[in-house]
Structure 1
Amino acid sequence: MSKTQNQVDGRTRKSRDIFGPKAEIIEECIDSIKYQIHCDTPNGYMHCYHLFPGIDLAYSTFQASTCTMRSKSMPNILEIAFCQAGRFECEYKHGYVTYLGEGDFAVSILSPEQEPPAFPIGYYDGIAIIVDMDITGPIFENIVEGVSIDLNELAHKFCAGHCCSVVKTPPNLLHVFQEICDAKDTAPMGYLRLKVLESFFLLSQMLPQENFETAAYYSAAQIKKVKALKAELMEHLDTKETLKSMAIRYGMSLTALKDCFKAVYGKPIHAFQREYKMQAATRLLITTEMSVAEISGRLGYENPNKFSTAFKEVLGLAPSEYRKKRK
């Protein structure tokens, strides 16, 4: 077996440890591997590019609610993930839940999840820079003359006390991450290498002098209550219960309920509820002969005009216009 084939096989084994034993290779070459990830739908993919020894760049695309990933701790794997769209949830054995939302990045040491990774709003698109420090060493030296990145320092500063930090991406780093996202399937490897090195440099410059804004963490018990509330809101579209009453009923403070719901679903409760109602309205407009007034009443609107205004704000068309275009 050739040295090149041994390298490919070694990277494949390492990737399976990271992405899970059920990950299926659907395309493979010397510089990249594309996986179908085991999810509750067939629509989970990771396209992994091998940029440097021990450093990979993975493009992630999921249209799913949950997926199955690694089951063992990998304390020498550092992952830097950026969310371009959607939302990612992961519950760790340390007893907290983290959320990666649009425009956030996360730095983590890979450890086994207590629950499978989840996508609360049903989709996720992003990138991940995966660093195997057993191969790169703790200091990635002289990547460009005079520039060295201390990977241990990155891990310690972002992940001290736990295995993951979710951070609001500052503008200069956001620009680089977005360039990497936009280069999917089009840019040469050299360009991707330059951009990943630039992101390393900018991350190193954030430390330790910059106080970065990290996302809040929530207990599994709080998340469970919020998910139950979301399911209830989806089932009872005509509810008029106040947020204060909901908070009392679920045994949470009003502030905790609002903050936790927004962390999970990316929107305040009323905004989420309104958008979901409008999506339900589109289905009723297309699949039934119900009048706009009847649909308005089913969704809890006493005044059809208020419903029509809300529908147009969300969908850009009045309900009658939407029905005419779609039928």
Structure 2
Amino acid sequence: MNKTGFCPDWYGKGVKLLKQHFGCSVISYQCNGTGMLHDYALFPGINLIFMDFNCADTFDEPSEVRNILELRHYQEGRIEFEFDGQKVFHLQQDEFCINALMNMPARYSFPFEYCTGLSLIIDRDALTDETISQLAPYQIDLSALEYDLDLERQWYICKTPSTMLHIFNELYAAKGNEPVEYFRIKALELLYHAGKLWKGDRVAATYYSREHIDIVKRVRRIMLDDLSSNIPLEKMLRGEHISTVTFQAIFKQIYGRSPYAYLKRYKMNSAAVQLCESSESINQIALSLGYSNASKFARAFQDVFRILPRAYRSQKKSI
């Protein structure tokens, strides 16, 4: 990257530089929604990029081969990485990963249609002797980090360690509010703690095929198209080349809950909106969501919101 942090070839197609100030480039993606990056050029060869997306698009990674080391964290949402050969895996909220040149994905997207995260990118080819000398007093050895975590073969993924979680939270809070010098200090903290990671804490990445991922997403859409129906999952999967067990495993990896738990929460969120914005009776709302009677619906609503539907409506109407 150049010293301003903005290089169109690095980000891929469809990006626009909006402004640059205090070592930060604000970049917009052209997409069906919004995609914003705040890119801080910290040291020659080291950039910190904040990502805020609200869209369902799939983005291709730039095709150029890049000799990089990358630390990623996601505060909200979930990201889907697809690799050549149509292998797919998902990085979840509050998971942390480090990856290197040999394991870069071909494309990525956001199953929840939103995502907030950050990426600390180290471009080995752009590192200067000055940058390396600035890392040395803090016992930051990038080659040792890559070797110790076996990054040439696979990603390092783990639940974000407490020693690093507070740093990520401070970084998100500081975006747009602090000068680049602040982010330099925090990046050094992250790299110092990354050097203390143990490969035994690694979580194995679970990969699934693109075909199975697409089946899960298609069936999810069917589930949500008509909330009044209660079609058994086994019936929805008839004719699909996927087992019920595999479907449930992939569904939970993508959406964070089992199909049943996900659908229940989705229905209760819909019910909450109807209770606030419509004059329909609780029984009518229950029927519209596939419940045979109001008492079953009320129990499900209370499971999610810890309050009965009637009390919830009264509470919201009084505000």
- Interval of TM-score (by shorter of Structure 1 and Structure 2): 0.7 to 0.9
TM-superposed deviation, 1:49? 0.8
Contact persistence 2:68–2:122 (CA under 8 A): yes
The TM-score with structure 2 as length reference comes to: 0.85
Farther off after superposition, 265-274 or 243-252:
243-252
TM-superposed deviation, 1:132? 1.0
**Distance in 2 of aligned mates of 1:245 and 1:89:** 27
Deviation digits for residues 200-253 of structure 1 (CA, Å, limit 9, x no counterpart): 122222255x34113311111110111011101101313434445555553323
**Distance in 1 of aligned mates of 2:194 and 2:95:** 13
In the alignment, structure 1 residue 149 sits paired with structure 2 residue 141: yes
Distance 1:279 1:293, change over 3 A: same
In the alignment, structure 1 residue 12 sits paired with structure 2 residue 2: no
Q: 1:198 aligns with which of 189, 205, 209?
A: 189
- 1:118 matched to which residue of 2? 109
The TM-score with structure 1 as length reference comes to: 0.83
Contact persistence 2:298–2:308 (CA under 8 A): yes
- 2:204 matched to which residue of 1? 214
Pairwise mapping of residues 96-175 of structure 1 onto structure 2 (< 5 A)? 96-109=87-100, 114-115=106-107, 117-136=108-127, 140-141=132-133, 143-145=135-137, 147-151=139-143, 153-154=145-146, 157=149, 159-161=151-153, 164-175=155-166
Distance 1:214 1:304, change over 3 A: same
**Distance in 1 of aligned mates of 2:216 and 2:16:** 33
- 1:261 matched to which residue of 2? 251
Distance 1:33 1:169, change over 3 A: same
Q: 1:55 aligns with which of 25, 46, 70?
A: 46
- 1:75 matched to which residue of 2? 66
**Distance in 1 of aligned mates of 2:147 and 2:231:** 45
- 1:284 matched to which residue of 2? 274
TM-superposed deviation, 1:83? 0.6
**Distance in 2 of aligned mates of 1:126 and 1:192:** 15
TM-superposed deviation, 1:134? 0.4
For structure 2, the residue ranges without an aligned partner over 5 or more in a row are: none
Distance 1:19 1:181, change over 3 A: same
Pairwise mapping of residues 269-308 of structure 1 onto structure 2 (< 5 A)? 269-286=259-276, 288-308=278-298
Deviation digits for residues 4-30 of structure 1 (CA, Å, limit 9, x no counterpart): xx843xx322xx223223111122125
Q: 2:175 aligns with which of 180, 184, 188?
A: 184
Aligned length: 314
Distance 1:321 1:299, change over 3 A: same
Q: 2:220 aligns with which of 206, 218, 230?
A: 230
Q: 1:38 aligns with which of 30, 33, 58?
A: 30
**Distance in 2 of aligned mates of 1:294 and 1:70:** 48
The one-letter amino acid paired with 1:214 is A
For structure 1, the residue ranges without an aligned partner over 5 or more in a row are: 1-5
* Cα RMSD after superposing both structures: 2.9
In the alignment, structure 1 residue 26 sits paired with structure 2 residue 18: yes
Contact persistence 1:56–1:130 (CA under 8 A): yes
